[in-house]
Every structure is written in structure tokens, then in C-alpha cells.
Amino acid sequence: MIRSTHLPLVVTILTFLAAFVLCSGQYPAMMSTRVVANLLTDNAFLGIVAVGMTFVILSGGIDLSVGSVIAFTGVFLAVILRDTSIHPLAAFALVLAMTIAFGAAMGAIIHYLDMPAFIVTLAGMFLARGLAYVLSTDSVPITHEFYDVLQSLYWKAPGGGRFRLTGMVMLATFIIGMVVAHRTRFGQNVYALGGGAQTARLMGVPLASTTIGIYALSGGLAGLAGIVFSLYTSAGYSLATVGVELDAIAAVVIGGTLLSGGSGFVAGTFFGILIMGLIQTYIVFDGTLSSWWTKIVIGGLLFAFILLQKGLTWATTARRKPLIDFAAP
């Protein structure tokens, strides 16, 4: 018996499998480990940032700053590796500490000043992007032997697919994210907060530390995504990853998480990422479709999944439905 709360997740997984079978029916070459490995590598940074976004959205908030934080991280790493002799690992630790602090500061403003997450993270988006500009407006290449070492780490699967380190980092992030969301007190607090801040407070959920923790987590994961992105491109560019926050939100929604918070799964986001990656792979394979179809198809998918969620909510609450329905805030 599938519980209704699991149904969006099941539908997402089925959609992915159906789409994959359809695509590989048309282009048998898609059924190779190469395509699967590239799917993981190309979407690694998006996946990592989407895990953080899942937590934020589960709590009923939103984080618009992640794309800018990724760009800032990339530029910061490139500049610090160019200008100082610091080891990349130390630079990673430094930048992660900065992005976590940045996220925590946004969470603190949201909680203590009682301001909407939308506006606070919007200001954060401007700030992070602006700091990236201040560091450098040009694309700064990263040439450090340690980067070459990290980039050459991969496991070659039969069929020629190369499962690179960055893809593995994304998978690990998803697994840790699932454990944290479903098996820890912090995860339960996040769900409770998404169900209703007032109720959560009455139940004894520490609102301040949970809110700050959520945005610190999202900021930290955006920093990690920035590190992965800099490994992927070997450069830092302040104009990179514009609009990634929207892709991440779309992946979370396609993954079956309610944007109003309180309901959803980290695993769903993983399949949301894979579906979006699959659309792009299909367009590359097709060769005649233009890249703007990606946006239209993702928009259409978003719409379909929102309708599905709406239908499910309506079906499961029909018996308790009040005489007058009204729009959710």
C-alpha cells in the first residue's frame, strides 16, 4: 500500500524511468554508462545545491542566494589560489566556513527581524554576486596540481562511463541529506517548522536554532556546490551560475516537495535533478531541437507536477473539505 504522502515521490521516479526508457528507445546509445556517468557529473553542483534547497523549502522558506554563492565561491577559490600559496584543501575549508556563516546570518535576520525569507535571501543574492564582482570581473583560471589530482579521480565503469569524484560527492550529499532529514531531530524540526511555525513553537521546536541551521546548511551546501563547480570548470567567473536557484527550486518541486513546506523527500529531489538532466541530454542527442525547449519542457513539467500535487491534496482532504475553499497563502 502506497501512502498518499509517498505518491508524489513514486510518480517522480516513474516519470524518470518512463522518460529514460522512451529516450533510450529512440536513441539506444543513451542506455550506456557513459550517459549515466555524465548525467551525474554534469549535474553534480546543481544536485548538491538542490539538497540544501530541499531543506529550506521543507521548512516553508526559500533561498534565492544560492546561485550567487556558487559564483562567489568559485571566484574566491580562483583568486586565493592565484594570489597566495595556500593549499586548496585549506581554501575549501575557509570558503565553506564563509558560506555557512553567510547562510547563518541570513537565517538569523529572517528569524530575529521577522522578515520574509524571500526578501532577505534576495538581498543576500545581490550581496554575494556583488562580492564576486569585487573580487574579479574576469574569468580567473585555476591551475593547481591538486585540482588536476582531484579531477583525475574517477572510477571507469564497463562501457566507458567515468564516474568522477564530483558525481560521487553529489551522491554522498544526497545520502547524508536523506539521513539528516528523516533520521535526526534537526530533520524532524525542519518538517515541523514547515507544517506551521506557530504549531512547531508550541511543540517545543527551537525555532531560532532550526531556522539558522537550515539557512546555514543551504549556504554551506551552496559553498560545496561552488567547490564542485570550480572543479568542473577549472575557473572562477562572477557571472557564472545565474539562475541556478530557479533550477534548484524546479528540481525540488518536480521531486514532489510542496513549496508551502512540511511535505516532501530529499530522494525526490534527486530524481527531479535526473529528469532535468535527462531533458538536456535528450536535446543534445536530438540535435535539431533548440536549447530553449529545455526551459519550456521544464516549465511544462513543473505545471504537471503542481497539478498532480493539487489533485492529491484535494483527493486526500476531500472528506474534510470545508464548504468554501481558499487559496493557500
Beta bridge partners of 264: none
Residue 122 engages other proteins in binding (rule: CB under 8 A): yes
Q: Which is nearer to other proteins, 62 or 91 (CB)?
A: 62
Q: Residues 10, 14, 22, 115: which binds other proteins (CB under 8 A)?
A: 115
Residue 294 engages other proteins in binding (rule: CB under 8 A): yes
Residue 79 engages other proteins in binding (rule: CB under 8 A): no
Residue 207 engages other proteins in binding (rule: CB under 8 A): no
State the DSSP string of 257-321.
Answer: --TTSS---HHHHHHHHHHHHHHHHHHHHH-SS-THHHHHHHHHHHHHHHHHHHHHHHHHHSTT-
Residues 6+ positions from 75 with CB-CB distance below 8 Å? 132, 135, 136, 140, 236, 237, 238
Residue 134 engages other proteins in binding (rule: CB under 8 A): yes
CA 150, chain centre distance (Å): 22
Residue 145 engages other proteins in binding (rule: CB under 8 A): no
Task: Give the Cα separation of 308 and 270 in Å (integer).
Answer: 19
Nearest approach in angstroms of CB 16 to other proteins is 19
Q: Residues 89, 93, 97, 246: which binds other proteins (CB under 8 A)?
A: 246
Residue 152 engages other proteins in binding (rule: CB under 8 A): no
Size of the site for other proteins (CB under 8 A): 50
Residue 133 engages other proteins in binding (rule: CB under 8 A): yes
Residue 253 engages other proteins in binding (rule: CB under 8 A): yes
Q: Which is nearer to other proteins, 8 or 187 (CB)?
A: 8
Task: Decide: 82 and 234 in contact? Cβ < 8 Å.
Answer: no
Residue 300 engages other proteins in binding (rule: CB under 8 A): yes
At residue 6, the 3 state secondary structure works out as: coil
At residue 256, the 3 state secondary structure works out as: coil
Q: Between helices 7-26 and 292-317, what is the axis angle to 10°?
A: 150
| x/- map, 260-289, other proteins, by CB under 8 A | x-----------------------------
Task: Decide: 193 and 97 in contact? Cβ < 8 Å.
Answer: no
Residue 290 engages other proteins in binding (rule: CB under 8 A): yes
Q: Residues 10, 119, 149, 176: which binds other proteins (CB under 8 A)?
A: 119
Residue 168 engages other proteins in binding (rule: CB under 8 A): no
Work out the end-to-end distance of the chain between its first and last CA atoms, rounded to an integer number of angstroms. 32
Q: Residues 307, 315, 316, 317: which binds other proteins (CB under 8 A)?
A: 307
Q: Residues 86, 87, 295, 315: which binds other proteins (CB under 8 A)?
A: 295
Residue 156: left if φ>0, alpha if ψ -120 to 50, beta else—which one?
Answer: beta
Beta bridge partners of 235: 141
Q: Residues 137, 184, 199, 316: which binds other proteins (CB under 8 A)?
A: 137
Task: Decide: 216 and 65 in contact? Cβ < 8 Å.
Answer: no
Which residues are at the interface with other proteins (CB under 8 A)?
Answer: 62, 64, 109, 112-116, 118-120, 122-127, 129-131, 133-134, 137, 246, 249-250, 253, 259-260, 290, 292-296, 298-300, 302-303, 306-307, 310, 322, 324-329
